[in-house]
């Protein structure tokens, strides 16, 4: 009989690995920095033994900080990015740091229209995409997404995290026959988690194959999402059958990265504003807290205004109008209950008090 997920996890010691990882996450900042340097060096040396090259995959502030950190400790490897998808201020930092621009094969509009909108989160979007594209092969997974019941391979569990949250089941579950029978609605637009793959991951993967190279990535388990458990299970450095990568910041949280960025004098792209310290001692960026493609809606339902698309309006009203009204993002945001229209919008409290706090570098 095929080994169940529970049996497999027990054999691999997954619970122990996750517990060990979480213990490292609770360690002091100084420990995490030493740990990141040790793991980064180990990865570089092991790749050398395997006749593999290394590179840094660069995007926003986290991975920019990783690039500067690696160079500071003497690991000076090529850096690549699909920079054309990033904000102009991020592009300028990439250019200043000598990051190679890898071109994407497809346009943002093409990917959205063919596969669907990247909204809510990668994990949720991936589940909705399965519901909207039913097949016999994904029938068991779709049942788990609707009901939380995993079946034999999943250990016959009920109420699992495979089930979509009730809020999103109500709006998207009707794309599946079983969900439709339960009275759930189906969205009038397609949803997908494939944008990052076609626009960023595949071009970088192809570059890596052509250069016999494997990446350093600025991933952190504290960000959650579908990568969280994988980072906890496999740790900072992973040498698998099909995937080899290093995530030296895996045990970091946002505060750790911001503190390191300040200490290393990392160039902060204008889209993030400045790194400042609040009276509580917590660090934050004065503008965007995270970035991505200008048309990315992952996490949009969790953001307070001004959210990603509000900031896009401030930077480029014509591009905002294109995505909202021509491509259809306005309809998507209306459907999930996220306000996006600009009439009557007021400056947020954080924007208003940015200059009240001294820059962290001045502390």
CATH at 224: 3.40.50.620
Task: Note whether residue 18 is domain-resident.
Answer: yes
Residues 243 and 325 in one domain: no
Structural domain includes residue 212? yes
Write out the E strands in the chain. 53-57, 79-81, 100-101, 119-120, 213-216, 237-239, 244-246, 275-277, 283-285, 297-298
Bridge partner list, 80? 57, 100
Range of the domain at 303: 273-362
Residue 81 pairs with which residues in a beta bridge?
101
Residue 359 has pLDDT above 70, yes or no: no
Q: Which residue has the higher pLDDT, 88 or 227?
A: 88
CA atoms within 13 A on the CB side of 356: 8
Q: How far is CA 121 from the centre of its chain?
A: 9
Q: What is the 3-state secondary structure (H, E, C) of 208-232?
A: HHHCCEEEECCCCHHHCCCHHHHHH
Is residue 114 a part of any domain in this protein?
Answer: no
DSSP annotation of 201 reads I
User: Which of 137, 152, 181 is the endpoint of a domain?
Assistant: 181
* Radius of gyration of the CA atoms of the chain, in A: 21
pLDDT of residue 349: 38
Residue 351 has pLDDT above 90, yes or no: no
Q: Are residues 21 and 92 in the same domain?
A: yes
Residue 57 pLDDT more than 90? yes
pLDDT digits (tens, 9 = 90+) for 82-129: 998 888 999 999 999 999 999 988 899 999 999 999 999 999 999 999
In this structure, is residue 111 part of a structural domain?
Answer: no
Q: Which of 154, 181, 208 is the last residue of a domain?
A: 181
For residues 11-16, give the mean pLDDT: 78
Residues with Cβ within 8 Å of 146's Cβ and at least 6 positions away in sequence, in order, are 131, 163, 164, 169, 173, 176, 178, 179, 182, 184
Whole-angstrom Cα distance, residue 85 to residue 51? Answer: 31
Whether residue 209 sits in one domain with residue 135 = no
Label residue 158 by pLDDT band (50, 70, 90): low
200-204, 236-240, 351-355: least confidently modelled range: 351-355
Q: Name the average pLDDT for the chain.
A: 90
For residue 360, what pLDDT is reported?
40
Q: Is 192 part of any domain?
A: no
pLDDT band at residue 292 using 50, 70 and 90 as cut-offs = confident
128 and 94 within one domain = no
> Are residues 203 and 102 located together in one domain of the fold?
yes
Backbone angles phi, psi at 54, to 5 degrees: -125, 155
pTM, whole model, 2 decimals? 0.84
Indicate if 83 and 143 belong to the same structural domain.
no
Residue 98 lies in a domain: yes
Residue pair 22/232 in contact by the 8 Å Cβ criterion: yes
Q: Distance (Å, rounded) from C-alpha 315 to C-alpha 349?
A: 19
| pLDDT, position 223 | 85
> 165-206, pLDDT tens digit by residue?
999 999 999 999 999 999 999 999 999 999 999 999 999 999
Domain annotation covers residue 187: no
Question: What is residue 1's predicted lDDT score, i.e. its pLDDT?
Answer: 56
Give the pair of three-digit tokens for residue 133.
Answer: 């594209």
For the chain, the maximum distance between any two Cα atoms, rounded to a whole number of angstroms, is 64
**Cα gap 287→268, rounded to integer Å:** 11
Report the alpha-carbon angle 58-59-63, nearest 5: 60
What is the number of other CB atoms lying within 10 angstroms of the CB of residue 63? 22
Q: Which two tokens stand for residue 9?
A: 């996890």
- State how many domains the chain has: 3
Picking from 213, 243, 263, the residue at the C-terminal end of a domain is 263
Considering the domain architecture, whether residues 257 and 291 belong to the same structural domain is answered as no
At residue 159 the predicted structure's pLDDT band, cuts being 50, 70 and 90, is low
pLDDT, position 338: 97
Residue bearing the bigger pLDDT, 233 or 354:
233
Question: Is a pLDDT exceeding 60 seen at residue 312?
Answer: yes
Asked if residue 355 and residue 314 are part of one domain, the reply reads: yes
Euclidean distance between CA atoms 240 and 341, whole angstroms: 46
pLDDT at 155 over 60: no
- Is residue 229 assigned to a domain? yes
Lowest-confidence pick of 12-21, 49-58, 235-244, 313-322: 12-21
- Residue 343: pLDDT band (50, 70, 90) is confident
pLDDT range class, residue 357, cuts 50, 70, 90: very low
Q: What band does 308 get if pLDDT is binned at 50, 70 and 90?
A: confident
Q: Are residues 146 and 293 in the same domain?
A: no
Q: What local confidence, expressed as pLDDT, does residue 356 receive?
A: 30
Residue 152's pLDDT is what?
64
My answer on whether 102 and 231 are in the same domain is: yes
Q: Which among 114-123, 153-162, 296-305 has the top mean pLDDT? A: 114-123
Whether 204 and 284 map to the same domain: the answer is: no
Residue recorded with tokens 């097949």: 135
Do 86 and 204 lie in one domain? The reply is yes
**CB-facing half-sphere around the CA of 187: CA atoms within 13 A:** 27
Read off the pLDDT of each residue in 29-34 and give the average, rounded to a whole number: 98
Residue 60: CA count within 13 A, CB half-sphere: 18
Answer yes or no: are the C-beta atoms of 287 and 271 closer than 8 Å: yes
């Amino acid at each position: 009989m095929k080994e169940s997920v529970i049996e497999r996890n027990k054999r691999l010691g997954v619970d122990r690995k996750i517990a060990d990882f979480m213990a490292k996450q609770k360690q002091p900042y100084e420990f995490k920095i030493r740990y990141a340097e040790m793991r980064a060096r180990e990865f570089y040396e092991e790749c050398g033994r395997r006749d593999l090259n290394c590179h840094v995959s660069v995007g926003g502030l986290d991975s920019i900080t990783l690039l500067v950190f690696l160079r500071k400790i003497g690991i000076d490897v090529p850096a690549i990015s699909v920079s054309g998808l990033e904000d102009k201020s991020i592009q300028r930092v990439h250019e200043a740091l000598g990051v190679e621009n890898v071109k994407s094969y497809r346009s943002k509009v093409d990917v959205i229209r063919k596969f669907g909108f990247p909204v809510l989160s990668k994990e949720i979007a991936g589940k909705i995409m399965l519901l909207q594209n039913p097949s016999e092969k994904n029938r068991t997974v779709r049942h788990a997404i609707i009901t939380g019941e995993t079946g034999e391979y999943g250990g016959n569990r009920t109420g699992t995290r495979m089930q979509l949250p009730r809020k999103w089941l109500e709006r998207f579950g009707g794309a599946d026959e079983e969900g439709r029978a339960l009275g759930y609605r189906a969205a009038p637009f397609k949803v997908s988690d494939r944008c990052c793959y076609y626009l960023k991951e595949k071009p970088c993967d192809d570059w890596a194959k052509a250069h016999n190279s494997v990446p350093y990535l600025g991933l952190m388990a504290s960000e959650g999402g579908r990568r969280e458990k994988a980072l906890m299970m496999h740790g900072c450095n992973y040498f698998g059958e099909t995937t080899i990568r290093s995530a030296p910041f895996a045990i970091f949280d946002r505060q750790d990265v911001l503190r390191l960025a300040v200490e290393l004098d990392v160039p902060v792209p204008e889209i993030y504003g400045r790194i400042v310290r609040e009276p509580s001692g917590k660090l934050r960026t004065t503008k965007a807290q995270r970035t991505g493609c200008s048309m990315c809606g992952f996490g949009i339902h969790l953001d307070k205004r001004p959210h990603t698309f509000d900031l896009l309006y401030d930077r480029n009203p014509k591009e905002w109008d294109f995505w909202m009204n021509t491509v259809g993002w306005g309809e998507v945001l209306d459907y999930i209950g996220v306000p996006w229209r600009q009439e009557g919008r007021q400056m947020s409290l954080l924007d208003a008090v940015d200059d009240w706090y001294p820059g962290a570098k001045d502390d």
